[in-house]
Each structure stands twice: as C-alpha cells, then as structure tokens.
Structure 1
Amino acid sequence: MLFLIILILSFAGGYFLPWWIVAIAAFGAAFFIGKTPARSFWSGFAAVFIGWTVLALFKSIPNDHILASRVVLLFPLPHNWIWLLIITAVIGGLVGGMSALSGVLLKKAVSKSDQ
C-alpha cells in the first residue's frame, strides 16, 4: 500500500511540481502508514525509481532520446542514453527511500516520546 501511494504521488507530482516533491510525498506517506524502517525504505526507493523512470521515458521517447544522448556525453559513462536514465532513477530512488525511512523513524521517535 505504501509503495502504491508513493508511486502515485511522485508520478503525479513529477508533472507539475519540482523534483524534490517526491521527498515530501515519501516522507508523509511513510510517516502516516509506514510500518517498519526496511519496508518503508524499499517502498520509497522502488516507487520513486519506477516513477522517475516512466516520467523520463515519457519525456525522452517523443524526441528520439536526442537530449538524453547529448547529456550523457558530459559524463564519464558509456555513450548510451540508458545509462543516464538508470543513474537518474537510482538517485531518485535513494531520495525516495531515505525520505520514507526518515518518515517512519520520526513516527517511531514521536510515538516513543508520547509514552
């Protein structure tokens, strides 16, 4: 459930809002419905990884990957646009995973201080 909520929020937010909205979405979702730190991290990582991959493909496929192919030349990577897509998705996944982890750990810290 957490995976699906983060995926929907990050995908929808990716069209209209800045890139960092995925961090707020993952943090909020994990704070309210996250159960364990490990599950929250991997849900956030996978949801943002998939969401950013799909968003990048939606923007790159119509122009035949011209911009992505030119940007990948700036980095010490093999000259293929897929590498840029993978690295972008991994960075987004780490942002989502760490945000979700922070959300569930804050929830645990707040609930322990109430007792």
Structure 2
Amino acid sequence: MKSFAWLLLLILVSSAGLQIFLPWWVITPLCLVLAFIWPVSGGKAFLAGFIGIGLGWLVLASWLSVRNEGLLAHRVAQLLPLGGHGWLLLLVTTILGGLVGGLATLAGAWCRFAFFTPKKRLAN
C-alpha cells in the first residue's frame, strides 16, 4: 500500500510541475518511467496513474473553469456533442487524462516485469 501511495503522489506532483513548462503529453513518458522504477503490480500501477493524472487534470480544469465563470468550458462543450454542459467537458477531460496516465503507468509496470522477472517465477 505504501508503494502505491508514494507512486500516486509522485505522479501527481511531478506531472503537475512538468506540465507547466512542457506539453500535455509529457505525462506519458513520465508515468512510464516512474512505474518502471517504482515496484508495483499492474493493477495498482494503472490505478495510481489514472488517479494521479485524472485528479491533477480535474483540479486544473476546474480551477480554470471557475476563473472564467465556465464560459470557455460551455463554448467548447457546444462544439463537441456534449450539449453545452461545461461540467460534462470537465468529466471527459478527467477520464481521458486518467486513461492516458493509467495506460502509460501500466506499460511501465509491465516493462519492469518483463526485464526484472522475479526468481520465483523462473523456477516454475
């Protein structure tokens, strides 16, 4: 449980810091490398990436939406098939960001398992 919480916190803080200066897709290599370095199972890795990136994007998108009274979210939601609901756009943004982070973290955990196979599994 400790490793899951630390990975989640590390993803949340480092992705928020890096996305200030770099493009949005920096979360993919970041999550992949962090999961490769940090020893967690596949399911916990996906969940840590999904929650870490999704929560970060939700907080940032909500903060930006509140600052402009939801006008931009409403207008973008009108362009997409969301019926002009800005809150639905925030939900879609959170889920998409979470899926990108979760899948990248899962790939990093799987790469770790592929390169560093435990000795117990080699005996079978």
Normalized against structure 1, the TM-score is what?
0.92
> How big is the shift at 1:79?
2.3
Task: Work out which of the residue numbers 55, 58, 61 in structure 1 matches 2:60.
Answer: 55
> How big is the shift at 1:25?
1.6
2:116 aligns to what SS in structure 1? Answer: helix
Normalized against structure 2, the TM-score is what?
0.86
Which residue number corresponds to residue 93 of structure 2?
88
Deviation by residue 1:24-66 (Cα, 9 ceiling, x = unmatched): 2211111111310000000000000000011112222211111
TM alignment of 1:100-111, pairs within 5 A:
100-111=105-116
Aligned AA (1:27): L
Task: Work out which of the residue numbers 78, 81, 103 in structure 2 matches 1:98.
Answer: 103
Q: Distance in 1 between matches of 2:36 and 2:65?
A: 33
Identity across aligned pairs (percent)? 36
**4+ long deviations beyond 2 Å:** none
Runs of 5+ consecutive residues of structure 1 not aligned to the other structure: none
Which residue number corresponds to residue 72 of structure 2?
67
2:24 aligns to what SS in structure 1? Answer: coil
> How big is the shift at 1:72?
0.1
In our comparison, the structure showing a higher alpha carbon Rg is: 2
Q: Distance in 2 between matches of 1:97 and 1:34?
A: 15
More moved, 72-81 vs 85-94: 72-81
Which residue number corresponds to residue 6 of structure 1?
11
Runs of 5+ consecutive residues of structure 2 not aligned to the other structure: 1-5
Which residue number corresponds to residue 79 of structure 1?
84
1:99 aligns to what SS in structure 2? Answer: helix
Which residue number corresponds to residue 33 of structure 2?
28
Over the residues paired in the alignment, what is the CA RMSD in angstroms?
Answer: 1.5
> How big is the shift at 1:14?
2.2
Q: How many residues align?
A: 114
Deviation by residue 1:69-112 (Cα, 9 ceiling, x = unmatched): 10000122232100000001100000000000000100111113
